[in-house]
């Protein structure tokens, strides 16, 4: 039996559990992520672990890459079974304690300005209800026993993982790298899907820096939160970076024909109305922050204008 296994989520796409790493050590088992909450998802993970000879009762520590429901919703199940120690970054710890705070890092209210006809009141979207009712992947809260930050080391069995702070998708998102074994748990930064990003979570600037940080590591294997194990680092990272720049280029191309309303740009980037209020608005805002910093675009109220 290998001492590090990855249990894949049901599907690579939301709503589905994140992949979960299970590592053996002398005291039992350590998990990276707890997967989705809710009966269906949690039961699947628990029985899968049992069938693999990884009894959930033996889990003594759970490390979370960030406080999102598909990664930590399942923690309520494990807290009941084995009272594991919970480790998360110091930046995401408040959201783990109080998931209502996710409304801020998701920048949910930002969409109200551009899509007033949707009629969201001050509360905007009730994220926690959305996770529970629509996605079937409820969020759970947990009091972290330990918080970590960039450069900290976490020993997990034979593996000594270094913490990389990799924001973009969540302000305190962390990836884990064992430089000796040349393996990395990338979380949502690298994987089959490009994670959404919002200004308060680090935006596209944070995302690009995070990709660079992982790219600089000498790696043979990347374990992503969503999708298959990656052995071709450059290709996988290049693909994600390519998608981010594809969005940026689309904005610049649109602006070649003159100024555009923010909303027009959202609709161009995200033709599906389901994606416009979130995460379309937040992703576009992230790109405009980058482009404005680079003096390529500017804004007057909701009108986005090209520079030069
Ligand atoms: Zn996430």
The 10s digit of each residue's pLDDT in 12-56 is 676 789 999 999 999 999 999 999 998 889 999 999 999 999 999
Q: How far is the centre of ligand 1, averaged over its atoms, from the C-alpha of 173 (Å)?
A: 8
Q: What pLDDT score does 132 carry?
A: 84
pLDDT grade for 136, boundaries at 50, 70 and 90: confident
Enter the CATH code of domain 4-233: 3.60.15.10
Q: How far is the centre of ligand 1, averaged over its atoms, from the C-alpha of 66 (Å)?
A: 7
Judge contact between 201 and 106, C-beta under 8 A.
yes
Mean pLDDT of 284-293: 98
Q: How far is the centre of ligand 1, averaged over its atoms, from the C-alpha of 189 (Å)?
A: 9
Q: What pLDDT score does 123 carry?
A: 55
Q: What pLDDT score does 174 carry?
A: 98
Q: What pLDDT score does 108 carry?
A: 87
Domain topology for 240-306: Arc Repressor Mutant, subunit A (1.10.10)
pLDDT grade for 125, boundaries at 50, 70 and 90: low
- 304 exposed, middle or buried (CB, 10 Å; 0-12, 13-18, 19+)? buried
Q: What pLDDT score does 133 carry?
A: 80
Domain boundaries along the sequence of the chain:
4-233, 240-306
Q: What global pTM score does this model have?
A: 0.95
Interatomic CA distance for residues 17 and 10, integer angstroms: 6
Q: In what order do the strands lie in the sheet with 153-156?
A: 153-156, 159-165, 174-178, 183-187, 221-224
First to last CA, the chain: 61
Q: How far is the centre of ligand 1, averaged over its atoms, from the C-alpha of 161 (Å)?
A: 20
Q: Is 52 helix (H, G, I), strand (E, B) or coil?
A: coil
Query: Cα-flanking dihedrals φ and ψ of residue 30, to 5°?
Result: -115, 140
Q: What pLDDT score does 121 carry?
A: 62
Q: How far is the centre of ligand 1, averaged over its atoms, from the C-alpha of 40 (Å)?
A: 19
Q: How far is the centre of ligand 1, averaged over its atoms, from the C-alpha of 90 (Å)?
A: 16
Q: What pLDDT score does 119 carry?
A: 66
For the record, the structure tokens of 125 come out as: 């979207």
Q: How far is the centre of ligand 1, averaged over its atoms, from the C-alpha of 60 (Å)?
A: 23
Mean pLDDT of 127-132: 83
Lowest-confidence segment of 82-96, 114-128, 254-268 by average pLDDT:
114-128
Judge contact between 174 and 141, C-beta under 8 A.
no
Q: What pLDDT score does 42 carry?
A: 93
Q: How far is the centre of ligand 1, averaged over its atoms, from the C-alpha of 18 (Å)?
A: 9
pLDDT grade for 266, boundaries at 50, 70 and 90: very high
Q: Could you tell me which of 1, 35, 27, 46 has the C-alpha nearest to residue 156?
A: 27
Q: What pLDDT score does 129 carry?
A: 83
Q: How far is the centre of ligand 1, averaged over its atoms, from the C-alpha of 300 (Å)?
A: 32
Q: How far is the centre of ligand 1, averaged over its atoms, from the C-alpha of 141 (Å)?
A: 15
Q: How far is the centre of ligand 1, averaged over its atoms, from the C-alpha of 308 (Å)?
A: 37
Q: How far is the centre of ligand 1, averaged over its atoms, from the C-alpha of 69 (Å)?
A: 7
Q: How far is the centre of ligand 1, averaged over its atoms, from the C-alpha of 68 (Å)?
A: 5
Q: How far is the centre of ligand 1, averaged over its atoms, from the C-alpha of 100 (Å)?
A: 15
Q: How far is the centre of ligand 1, averaged over its atoms, from the C-alpha of 225 (Å)?
A: 9
- Asked whether residue 99 carries a pLDDT value surpassing 90, the answer given is yes
Q: What pLDDT score does 16 carry?
A: 87
Q: How far is the centre of ligand 1, averaged over its atoms, from the C-alpha of 65 (Å)?
A: 9
Report the chain's mean pLDDT, rounded to a whole number: 94
Q: What pLDDT score does 120 carry?
A: 67
């Amino acid at each position: 039996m290998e001492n590090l296994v990855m249990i894949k989520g049901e599907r690579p796409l939301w709503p589905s559990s994140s992949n979960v790493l299970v590592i053996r050590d002398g005291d039992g088992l350590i998990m990276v992520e707890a997967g989705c909450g809710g009966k269906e998802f949690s039961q699947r993970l628990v029985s899968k672990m049992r069938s693999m000879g990884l009894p959930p009762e033996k889990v003594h520590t759970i490390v979370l890459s960030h406080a999102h429901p598909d990664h930590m919703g399942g923690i309520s199940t494990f807290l009941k079974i084995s009272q594991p120690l919970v480790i998360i970054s110091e930046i995401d710890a408040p959201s783990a304690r109080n998931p209502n705070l996710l409304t801020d890092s998701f920048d949910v209210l930002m969409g109200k300005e551009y899509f007033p006809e949707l009629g969201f009141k001050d509360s905007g979207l009730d994220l926690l209800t959305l996770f529970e009712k629509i996605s079937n992947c409820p969020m759970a809260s947990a009091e972290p026993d330990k918080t970590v930050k960039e450069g900290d080391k976490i020993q997990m069995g034979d593996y000594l993982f270094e913490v990389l702070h990799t924001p973009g998708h969540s302000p305190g998102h962390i990836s884990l790298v064992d430089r000796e074994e040349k393996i990395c748990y990338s979380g949502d930064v690298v994987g089959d899907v490009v994670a959404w990003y919002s200004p308060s979570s680090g935006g596209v600037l944070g995302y690009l820096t995070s990709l660079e940080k992982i790219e600089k590591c000498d790696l043979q294997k990347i374990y992503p939160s969503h999708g298959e194990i990656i052995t071709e680092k450059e290709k996988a990272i290049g693909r994600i970076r390519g998608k981010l720049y594809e969005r940026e280029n689309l904005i610049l191309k649109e602006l070649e024909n003159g100024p555009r309303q923010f909303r027009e740009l959202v609709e161009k980037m995200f033709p599906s109305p389901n994606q416009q209020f979130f995460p379309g608005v937040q992703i576009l805002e992230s790109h405009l922050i980058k482009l404005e910093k680079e003096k390529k675009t500017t804004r007057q109220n909701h009108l986005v204008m090209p520079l030069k």
